[in-house]
C-alpha cells in the first residue's frame, strides 16, 4: 500500500460559460501533475466555446470573447488533455462539476473519455471534514492556510492554489485508503454554504427553511447536515414535551 508521499496526482480545473454541465461550454482547461513535494508537469489552454459568453460568467473568470477567439475548439483539445490526465488520481475542488462538463463535452464531440473511471479526491469535501476554516471556498482556504495569491480566478491559478490546499488538508492521512474511508460517509457540516442563509449555522436557521432545503437536489453532505439538524430539533421538541408536566393539559 503506497504512502501519499510516494504517489502522483492530477489537479484539474475548468472555466465554463455557466454551471449547467449539459448546456454550457468549456472556456479554459488547466491541469497539473504533482506529488506532495513538487509540481512535475502542467497543461493549460483557453478554449473557443463557439458561442457567446454570458456577461455574468465573465465577471467571475474574466475570460472575454476576444480572449477565446481563435483558440482551439474542444474537439481538437480534448484528446491531448485526456492523454495528459491519463489514469492518475484526480484532485479538484467540487470535482464532480469539472468531470461532468468534460464528459458532456467529450460526448458532444464524440471523443472517447473515461475520466469518470479515475479515482477522484474532492478538496471541497476534505475541507468540510477538516472543519477549521471559516468557509470552504478555495479563496477562503487560501487565506486560512496563508497560501500566496495566484491572482485572477482562472483555471491555472485555481489549480496551483488547489494543489497547496490539498497538501494541507491531507496532512492527517498516510494513505489514499485512509482518505477514501473518511470521505465514504456523509460529512456533518456546521454552516449553510449557499443561498440566503449562506454562512449561517444550521442551528440558527428557521425550521421552515431547513425543511424546504432538505427536499432540494443538494449534495449528500449538505442534505445529511440539513436532515441531521431537523432530527435534532424533533428530538429536542419531543424531550421538552416529555419533561413538561403541563404538556398533556
| 248 in a structural domain | no
My answer on whether 119 and 231 are in the same domain is no
Give one DSSP letter per residue of 137-201, joined into a string: SHHHHHHHTTPPP--SS-HHHHHHHHHHHHHHHTTT-SBHHHHHHHHSS----SB--SSTTTT-B
DSSP 4: G
Phi, then psi, of 30 in degrees rounded to 5:
-145, 145
List residues bridging with 12 in a β-sheet: 31
Element housing 32 (H / E): strand 26-34
My answer on whether 221 and 153 are in the same domain is no
My answer on whether 95 and 52 are in the same domain is yes
Give one DSSP letter per residue of 198-244, joined into a string: TT-BGGGS-HHHHHHHTTS---HHHHHHHHHHHHHHHHHHHHHHHH-
CATH of the domain at 97: 3.30.420.10
User: What is the rounded distance in angstroms from the CA atom of residue 12 to the CA atom of residue 172?
Assistant: 23
For the question of whether the overall pTM of this predicted structure is more than 0.75, the answer is yes
My answer on whether 236 and 162 are in the same domain is no
| 197 in a structural domain | no
Domain count, the chain: 2
**Stretch 198-212: mean pLDDT:** 95
The mean pLDDT of the chain is 93
- Nearest residue to 143 (alpha-carbon basis) of 157, 155, 161: 161
My answer on whether 212 and 172 are in the same domain is no
- Nearest residue to 171 (alpha-carbon basis) of 220, 123, 216: 123
By three-state DSSP, how is residue 132 classified?
A: coil
Domain boundary among 154, 183, 212: 183
| 117 in a structural domain | yes
| 52 in a structural domain | yes
Per-residue model confidence as pLDDT tens digits over 22-42:
899 999 999 999 999 999 999
- Is-contact 229 210, C-beta < 8 A? yes
Q: How confident is the model at residue 149 (pLDDT cuts 50, 70, 90)?
A: confident
| 193 in a structural domain | no
pLDDT of residue 2: 83
Q: State the chain's maximal CA–CA distance in angstroms.
A: 77
| 194 in a structural domain | no
Boundaries of domain holding 51 = 4-183
Taking phi first (over 0 means left), then psi (-120 to 50 degrees means alpha), and beta for anything else, what does residue 92 get?
A: beta
Cβ-defined contacts of 232-240 (< 8 Å, 24+): 232/203, 233/207
| 123 in a structural domain | yes
Lowest mean pLDDT of 43-47, 62-66, 141-145, 239-243, name the range.
239-243
The grid coordinates listed for 19 are 454551471
**Has residue 248 got a pLDDT over 60?**
no
List residues bridging with 31 in a β-sheet: 12, 43
User: What is the rounded distance in angstroms from the CA atom of residue 116 to the CA atom of residue 136?
Assistant: 24
Amino acid at each position: 500500500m503506497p504512502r501519499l508521499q510516494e504517489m502522483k496526482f492530477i489537479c484539474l480545473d475548468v472555466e465554463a460559460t455557466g454551471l449547467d454541465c449539459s448546456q454550457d461550454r468549456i472556456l479554459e482547461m488547466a491541469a497539473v501533475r504533482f506529488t506532495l513535494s513538487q509540481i512535475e508537469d502542467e497543461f493549460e489552454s483557453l478554449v473557443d466555446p463557439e458561442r457567446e459568453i454570458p456577461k455574468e460568467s465573465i465577471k467571475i473568470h474574466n475570460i472575454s470573447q476576444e480572449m477565446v477567439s481563435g483558440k482551439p475548439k474542444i474537439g481538437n483539445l480534448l484528446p491531448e488533455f485526456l492523454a495528459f490526465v491519463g489514469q492518475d488520481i484526480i484532485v479538484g475542488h467540487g470535482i464532480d462539476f469539472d468531470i461532468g462538463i468534460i464528459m458532456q463535452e467529450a460526448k458532444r464531440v464524440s471523443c472517447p473519455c473515461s475520466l469518470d473511471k479515475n479515482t477522484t479526491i474532492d478538496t471541497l469535501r476534505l475541507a468540510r471534514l477538516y472543519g477549521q476554516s471559516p468557509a470552504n471556498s478555495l479563496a477562503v482556504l487560501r487565506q486560512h492556510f496563508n497560501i500566496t495569491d495566484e491572482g485572477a480566478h482562472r483555471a491555472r491559478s485555481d489549480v496551483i492554489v488547489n494543489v497547496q490546499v490539498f497538501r494541507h488538508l491531507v496532512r492527517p492521512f498516510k494513505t489514499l485508503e485512509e482518505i477514501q474511508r473518511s470521505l465514504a460517509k456523509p460529512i456533518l457540516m456546521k454552516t449553510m454554504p449557499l443561498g440566503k442563509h449562506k454562512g449561517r449555522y444550521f442551528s440558527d436557521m428557521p425550521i421552515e427553511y431547513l425543511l424546504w432545503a432538505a427536499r432540494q437536489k443538494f449534495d449528500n453532505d449538505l442534505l445529511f447536515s440539513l436532515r441531521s439538524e431537523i432530527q435534532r430539533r424533533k428530538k429536542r421538541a419531543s424531550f421538552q414535551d416529555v419533561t413538561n408536566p403541563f404538556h398533556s393539559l
